[in-house]
Structure 1
Amino acid sequence: MKSTLDSAALDAAIEDVHRAGLPGLFAEVRDGDQVWRGAAGVADVSTGRPVTAGMRHRVGSITKTFTAAAVLHQVERGRIGLDAAIGRYLPELVPGERGDAITVRMLLNHTSGLAEYLPYAYPSLKAFPVLAETGPQSLDDHRFTRFDPVDLIGMGVSAPAAGAPGSTPGLYSNTNYLLLVQLLEQVTGTTAERCITRDVIERAGLRDTALPAGTHIDGPHSQLYESWFGMIDPPRDYSVYDMSWVGPAASLISTVADLNRFYDALLAGKIVGPSSLEEMRRTVPVVSQEGRVIEYGLGLHPMEGPGQDASGQGTFWGHGGTVWGGGALAMTRADGRRQMAVAVNAQRWNRLDSAGRPQPHPVDGALAAFYQVAMDG
Structure 2
Amino acid sequence: MRNALDPAQLDTAQLDAAIAHVHRAGIPGLFAEVRDGDQIWRGAAGVADTTTGRPVTPDMRHRVGSITKTFTAAAVLQQVDSGRIGLDTPIARYLPSLVPGERGEAITVRMLINHTSGLAEYLPYAYPSLKGFPNAADTRPESLDDNRFTRFHATELIGMGVRAPATGAPGSTPGIYSNTNYLLLGELLEHITGTTARQCITRNVIERAGLRNTELPTGAHIEGPHSHLYEAWFGMIDPPRDYSVFDMSWVGPAAGLISTVTDLNRFYGLLLAGEIVSQASLTQMRRTVPVISQEGKTIEYGLGLYPTEAPGQPTFWGHGGSAWGAGALSATRADGNRQLSVAVNLQRWNTLDPSGKPQPHPIDAALAAFCRLAMYG
Shorter-chain TM band: over 0.9
The answer on whether the counterparts of 1:204 and 1:261 sit within 8 Å (CA) in structure 2 is: yes
Any idea what SS the aligned residue of 1:53 has?
coil
Q: Please name the residue that 1:367 is paired with.
A: 367
Deviations 1:96-152 (A, max 9, x none): 000000000000000000000011111000011221111000000000000111010
The answer to whether structure 1 residue 100 and structure 2 residue 105 are counterparts is: yes
Call closer, same or farther: CA 1:44–1:306 in 2, change over 3 Å.
farther
> Aligned-pair distance for 1:307?
4.1
TM-score after normalising by structure 2: 0.98
Query: How much has 1:306 moved relative to structure 2?
Result: 5.8
> Contact 1:39/1:53 (CA < 8 Å) preserved in 2?
yes
Query: How far apart in 1 are the matches of 2:338 and 2:363?
Result: 24
Aligned position for 1:327 = 327
Q: Paired residue for 1:346?
A: 346
Q: Give the aligned partner of residue 163 of structure 1.
A: 168
Partner in structure 1 of residue 5 of structure 2: none
Match of 1:173 among 169, 174, 178: 178
* Alignment gaps of 5+ in structure 2: 3-7
1:255 counterpart residue number: 260
Does the alignment pair 1:124 with 2:132?
no
Aligned counterparts of 1:375 and 1:75: Cα–Cα separation in 2: 32
How many pairs are equivalent? Answer: 372
Q: Distance in 2 between matches of 1:196 and 1:270?
A: 15
1:185 to 169, 172, 190: 190
Contact 1:305 1:376 (C-alpha < 8 Å) held by counterparts:
no
Residue 208, structure 1, aligned to residue 213, structure 2: yes
Q: TM-score, normalised by structure 1?
A: 0.98
Provide the C-alpha distance between the structure 2 equivalents of 1:178 and 1:328, rounded to a whole number of angstroms.
20
CA RMSD between the two structures: 0.7
| CA–CA distance in structure 1, aligned partners of residues 13 and 376 of structure 2 | 14
**Secondary structure in 2 aligned to 1:286?**
strand
Deviation track 1:132-174 (CA, whole Å, cap 9, x = no partner) reads: 1110000000000001110100000000000000000000000
1:61 is aligned to 2:70 = no
Aligned to 2:39: 34
SS at match of 1:332: strand
| Partners of 1:80 and 1:186 in 2: CA distance | 11
In the TM superposition, what is the alpha-carbon distance from 1:88 to its structure 2 partner? 0.3
Which aligned pairs between 1:12-91 and structure 2 lie closer than 5 A? 12-91=17-96
Stretches of structure 1 lacking an aligned partner (at least 5 in a row): 309-313
Looking at structure 1, the residues matched to 175 and 183 of structure 2 have their Cα atoms a distance apart, in angstroms, of 17
1:15-70 Cα distance to aligned partner (Å, 9 max, x none):
00000010000000000000000000000000000000000000000000000000
Q: d(CA) in 1 for partners of 2:207 and 2:90?
A: 29
Matching of residue 220 in structure 1 with residue 236 in structure 2: no
2:153 corresponding residue in structure 1: 148
Partner of 1:232: 237
Given that 1:129 and 1:289 are in contact with CA atoms closer than 8 Å, whether structure 2 keeps it comes out as yes
Contact 1:7/1:36 (8 A) holds in 2: yes
Q: Per-residue CA shift, 1:318-367, capped at 9, x if unaligned? A: 00000000110000000100000000000000000011110000000000
Secondary structure of the residue aligned to 1:327 is strand
1:134 and 2:142 correspond:
no
Give the Cα separation in 2 of the matches to 1:316 and 1:26: 20
